[in-house]
Amino acid sequence: MEEKDRIINDVTQSEYKYGFVTDIETDIIETGLNENVIRIISAKKNEPEFMLEFRLNAFRKWQKMKMPDWAYLKIPPIDFQKISYYAAPKTEAKYESLDEVDPDLLDTFNKLGIPVEEQKHLAGVAVDIVMDSVSVKTTFKDTLAEKGIIFCSFSDAVKEHPELIKKYLGQAVPVADNYFSALNSAVFSDGSFCYIPKGVRCPMELSTYFRINAANTGQFERTLIIADDDSYVSYLEGCTAPMRDENQLHAAVVAIITMDRAEVKYSTVQNWYPGNKEGVGGVYNFVTKRGICRGVSSKISWTQVETGSAITWKYPSCILLGDNSVGEFNSVAVTNNYQQADTGSKMIHIGKNTKSTIISKGISAGKSNNSYRGLVKVMPGAKNSRNFSQCDSLLLNDTCGAHTFPYIDVQNKSSIVEHEATTSKIGEDQIFYCNQRGIDTETAIGMIVNGYAKEVLNKLPMEFAVEAQKLLQISLEGSVG
């Protein structure tokens, strides 16, 4: 608690802290999107034929699709021909130890406060760093390999485990699921792949730090996690991005598949550059995250702390296919200044006795708009299923907006779906009470916001919760009023 409070307390005075650019040579292909570009991407990555086919198929479908317009977002037109779809650091070699890694890159991570060096020793976290598009460094691979766990870059997985990729690629998130997943399927650069074999409990938290670095480059990550029967893994994803004036498009796909009695915990701290105080710049974050609980009694939980991006469009979802399977979504979404977020979850109950929980905490400040959008769908065969949803909104002033769009569709009589929602504003009386005890207003707001979000923050792994709170604090800086 003390650590949490300390971090909350040193909020507020700074501009976006992680806005710096690392000067590393990058290999960028020309802007534009056509079949030829896709062939170049596939060729640069030395992909097998089936991957090229997958990409081309996705591209053809994407061409026939339209940008979704149902979200409560104002999205400026995006010229997909003005984006470069591939950027890889020129230092292509994989390193045996950190000594061989470009010192500039290490310095970047030091600035972020997450030095790889320390990460290696910290609580057994293996880090697969994605800097721009190519995985630069994979650690702990050997330790994991002893248990039969595969944790590597997506490109490596395509080469070394094509049978797994062939089997599971596009299963949780079909190519044409939506506009952005189709785009990602066509042009995705790299990402992470994780396979936990039967009966294995992954001995450490797996994490990937994503980072946009090259200017004017789209970022299209793809993550695939497969947990075989009776296995368990906790996966952490954290993002920080350098400050940029031009909007950067980010359209990632994360897919999780759990077999019988397997459990995957996926935690995210998202801090893409949100634009400046006037709403200029910032990342567009259009992400598709979905898990399928294929096996009986399997479980997938999504926990996210979203503080960044100019525009967020993101609905981590669970398809509860196996009987007795469980889906969870825990979210804190902060919007400040001119940020817009339309985020929430979908829980699709198909198997019997399936359970899902949605806890969504929206915090709005500045002139931002923060929407929760959720779907709970219970199919006719999903007898005795249960859902509990709680959507809370906290407003910091009178100029921001909070919106809730819950959709509930229950198709049998034995299931129970509950939805609770609250909206509150930080009261001047609360602030004055804190002031009167010697606590300044920024600290008071930090304390109140932290208290409000605690239920979700507590679900994060400890070391991650600390970073999450720091981001929460930074993103609400100067929002009093």
* Residues in contact with other proteins by the rule CB under 8 A: 1-2, 5, 9, 427, 429-430, 432-441, 443, 447-448, 450-452, 454
CB of 479 to other proteins, least distance (A): 18
Which residues lie below 8 Å from residue 446, measured CB to CB, with a gap of 6+?
8, 9, 11, 12, 473, 476
CB of 301 to other proteins, least distance (A): 22
CB of 473 to other proteins, least distance (A): 14
| 462 burial via Cβ count (<10 Å: 0-12, 13-18, 19+) | exposed
Q: How crowded is residue 425: how many other Cβ atoms within 10 Å of its Cβ?
A: 15
Q: Which residues pair with 293 in a beta bridge?
A: 258, 320
Q: Which residues pair with 340 in a beta bridge?
A: 311, 369
Q: Which is nearer to other proteins, 261 or 361 (by Cβ)?
A: 361
Return the structure tokens found at 440.
């300044």
Q: Which is nearer to other proteins, 9 or 143 (by Cβ)?
A: 9
| 306 burial via Cβ count (<10 Å: 0-12, 13-18, 19+) | buried
CB of 196 to other proteins, least distance (A): 35
Q: Which is nearer to other proteins, 1 or 93 (by Cβ)?
A: 1
The Cα–Cα gap between 127 and 375 comes to 33
The Cα–Cα gap between 209 and 317 comes to 21
Q: Which is nearer to other proteins, 36 or 436 (by Cβ)?
A: 436
- Phi, psi (deg, nearest 5) at residue 409: -140, 100
Q: Which is nearer to other proteins, 310 or 445 (by Cβ)?
A: 445
Q: Which is nearer to other proteins, 252 or 453 (by Cβ)?
A: 453
Q: Which is nearer to other proteins, 329 or 452 (by Cβ)?
A: 452
CB of 463 to other proteins, least distance (A): 20
Q: Which is nearer to other proteins, 163 or 398 (by Cβ)?
A: 398
The Cα–Cα gap between 210 and 463 comes to 17
- Pairing of β 206-211 and β 248-250: unpaired
The Cα–Cα gap between 395 and 365 comes to 6
Which residues lie below 8 Å from residue 120, measured CB to CB, with a gap of 6+?
98, 127, 139, 140
Nearest by Cα to 345 from 357, 355, 362: 357
The Cα–Cα gap between 300 and 295 comes to 11
CB of 10 to other proteins, least distance (A): 13
Q: Say if CB 179 and CB 210 are below 8 A apart.
A: no
The Cα–Cα gap between 435 and 395 comes to 20
CB of 436 to other proteins, least distance (A): 5
CB of 357 to other proteins, least distance (A): 19
| 245 burial via Cβ count (<10 Å: 0-12, 13-18, 19+) | exposed
End-to-end alpha-carbon separation of the chain, Å?
27
**Torsion angle, CA of 67/71/77/81, rounded to 10 degrees?**
-40
Q: Which is nearer to other proteins, 305 or 348 (by Cβ)?
A: 305
CB of 118 to other proteins, least distance (A): 25
The Cα–Cα gap between 231 and 397 comes to 45
CB of 75 to other proteins, least distance (A): 33
Q: Which is nearer to other proteins, 78 or 439 (by Cβ)?
A: 439
Q: Which is nearer to other proteins, 276 or 441 (by Cβ)?
A: 441
Block residue for tokens 């074999």: 197
Q: Which is nearer to other proteins, 277 or 454 (by Cβ)?
A: 454
CB of 481 to other proteins, least distance (A): 13
CB of 444 to other proteins, least distance (A): 9
